[in-house]
């Protein structure tokens, strides 16, 4: 059996989304910047897509900038806002559990002379308003805190954090790449000024994302050239991707309640069984303020990598921490931030459940995992 429990790394394209994308790869292939009839048809669809995305997110169509994904959106927003507003202020705040594309963007700014400060997450993996209040001041240009953490699935109180940023005259950005379809993001209600999304995290295509930029915020572009996206992001519009992302986002909002119920039932069943049938397990991060698709489990006395490889040989895909850092064998900065001791930092597996998982797959995984853990523990030098 093949089981995919790595939906936090990426999701399978929903066949309904593929069907909506196909015409844009075949008949409707015009360049949305061209003034011939195919180009103009593409342009109209692009404008429609912006309206549809803005409506779902509770923002304005003009704020929707399509990018190649959340990495690009985060780079554009963090660096672009800092560079365009540096005459006034010099301080940037990000949390210490951000995705590397946010952290490295901030590190680049630090090397360029900006003051970068890290708001720490607590032991539950949450960034609290109190922690932000301790380090924010009137020098702060931008506060960036992720809506949902990619490794442990914890959910931050974005509205409360945004409110504090605004009290100090700073902009608030959230990397919401892991938030859809789990949270009902509403830009206006939550007080979000800037937001990043990625299509492939919610059953849409890879290589397309959104940088939402509220009207009036100055941003220095990363990409210059043809002047697309109101000069904020040059490059030919990826219309198949954009139409796919838009439809995938609509499905996520429309089917949200049933989806959440389904993944929660699978995850809770999985956890209840493995916790009963395998000794020495613990969950990393808050279990209440957490998306229902994520389970990050500590396995005492075994290396996470060994579990991952063993399960992979049995046809099961999981990950240790985030897939994005799999090539880099450093201990997870998220697990370090929430205070795991050194000997526990490499004993974790992230199981992330999704739309296409079945109960039969979960039962197969439980059986395989029990065998894997038993075998690995039998010759583990760590007791």
Task: Kindly tell me which residue out of 7, 75, 85, 198 binds ligand PLP, with binding defined by CB under 6 A.
Answer: 198
Q: Which residues neighbour 117 within 8 Å (Cβ) at sequence distance 6 or greater?
A: 91, 92, 93, 94, 135
Q: Taking CB under 6 A as the rule, does residue 70 contact ligand PLP? A: yes
Task: Kindly tell me which residue out of 14, 175, 229, 310 binds ligand PLP, with binding defined by CB under 6 A.
Answer: 175
Closest among 207, 198, 196 to 239, alpha carbons compared:
207
Task: Kindly tell me which residue out of 46, 101, 109, 340 binds ligand PLP, with binding defined by CB under 6 A.
Answer: 101
Please identify, among the stretches 173-181, 186-194, 249-257, 309-317, the one whose residues bind ligand PLP according to the rule CB under 6 A: 173-181
Q: Whole-number minimum distance, CB 180 to ligand PLP, in Å?
A: 11
Closest among 6, 34, 4 to 239, alpha carbons compared:
34
Task: Kindly tell me which residue out of 30, 63, 69, 205 binds ligand PLP, with binding defined by CB under 6 A.
Answer: 69
Please identify, among the stretches 16-24, 32-40, 69-77, 363-371, the one whose residues bind ligand PLP according to the rule CB under 6 A: 69-77
Alpha carbons 53 and 324: distance in angstroms, whole number:
26
Q: Taking CB under 6 A as the rule, does residue 368 contact ligand PLP? A: no
CA distances from residue 47 to 50, 207, 251 in whole angstroms, order as listed? 5, 19, 19
Q: Whole-number minimum distance, CB 120 to ligand PLP, in Å?
A: 18
Alpha carbons 136 and 21: distance in angstroms, whole number:
44
Please identify, among the stretches 84-92, 175-183, 227-235, 329-337, the one whose residues bind ligand PLP according to the rule CB under 6 A: 175-183
Strand pairing report for 348-352 and 294-299: antiparallel
Instruction: Tell me if 361 sits within 8 A of 354, measured CB to CB.
Output: no
Q: Taking CB under 6 A as the rule, does residue 71 contact ligand PLP? A: yes
Alpha carbons 280 and 310: distance in angstroms, whole number:
19
- Which residues are catalytically annotated? 324
Q: Which residues neighbour 333 within 8 Å (Cβ) at sequence distance 6 or greater?
A: 96, 97, 103
Q: Which residue is nearest to ligand PLP (CB)?
A: 69
> Which token pair is 108?
């680049």
Q: How many residues bind ligand PLP (CB under 6 A)?
A: 14
Kindly write out the interface string for residues 132-171 of this chain, putting x where it contacts ligand PLP by CB under 6 A and - elsewhere: --------------x---x---------------------
Q: Binding residues for ligand PLP, per CB under 6 A?
A: 69-71, 99, 101, 146, 150, 175, 177-178, 198, 209, 322, 324
């Amino acid at each position: 059996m093949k089981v995919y429990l790595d939906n936090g790394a990426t999701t399978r394209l929903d066949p309904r989304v593929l069907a909506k994308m196909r015409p844009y790869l075949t008949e409707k292939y015009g360049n949305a910047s061209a003034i011939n009839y195919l180009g103009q048809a593409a342009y109209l669809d692009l404008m429609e897509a912006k309206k549809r995305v803005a409506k779902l997110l509770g923002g304005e169509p003009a704020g929707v900038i399509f990018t190649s994904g959340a990495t690009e959106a985060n780079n554009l927003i963090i660096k672009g806002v800092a560079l365009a507003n540096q005459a006034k202020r010099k301080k940037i705040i990000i949390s210490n559990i951000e995705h590397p594309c946010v952290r490295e963007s901030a590190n680049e700014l630090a090397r360029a002379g900006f003051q970068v400060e890290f708001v720490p997450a607590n032991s539950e993996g949450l960034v609290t308003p109190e922690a932000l209040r301790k380090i924010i001041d009137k020098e702060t240009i931008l506060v960036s805190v992720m809506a949902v953490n990619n490794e442990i699935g914890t959910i931050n109180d974005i509205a409360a954090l945004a409110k504090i940023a605004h009290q100090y005259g700073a902009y608030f950005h959230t990397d919401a790449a892991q938030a859809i379809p789990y949270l009902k993001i509403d830009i206006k209600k939550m007080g979000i000024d800037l937001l990043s999304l990625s299509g492939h995290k919610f059953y849409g295509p890879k290589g397309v994302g959104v940088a939402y930029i509220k009207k009036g915020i100055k941003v220095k572009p990363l990409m210059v050239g043809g002047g697309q996206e109101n000069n904020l992001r040059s490059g030919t519009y990826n219309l198949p991707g954009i139409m796919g992302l838009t439809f995938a986002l609509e499905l996520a909002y429309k089917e949200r309640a049933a989806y959440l119920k389904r993944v929660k039932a699978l995850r809770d069943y999985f956890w209840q069984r493995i916790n009963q049938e395998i000794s020495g397990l613990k969950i990393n991060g808050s279990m209440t303020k957490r998306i229902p698709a994520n389970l990050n489990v500590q396995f005492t006395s075994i290396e996470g990598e060994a579990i991952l490889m063993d399960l992979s040989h049995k046809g099961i895909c999981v990950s240790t921490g985030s897939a994005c850092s799999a090539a880099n064998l450093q201990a997870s900065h998220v697990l370090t931030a929430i205070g795991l001791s050194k000997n526990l930092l490499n004993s974790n597996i992230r199981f992330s459940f999704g739309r296409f998982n079945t109960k039969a797959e979960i039962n197969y995984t439980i059986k395989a995992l029990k065998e894997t853990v038993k075998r690995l523990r039998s010759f583990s030098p760590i007791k």
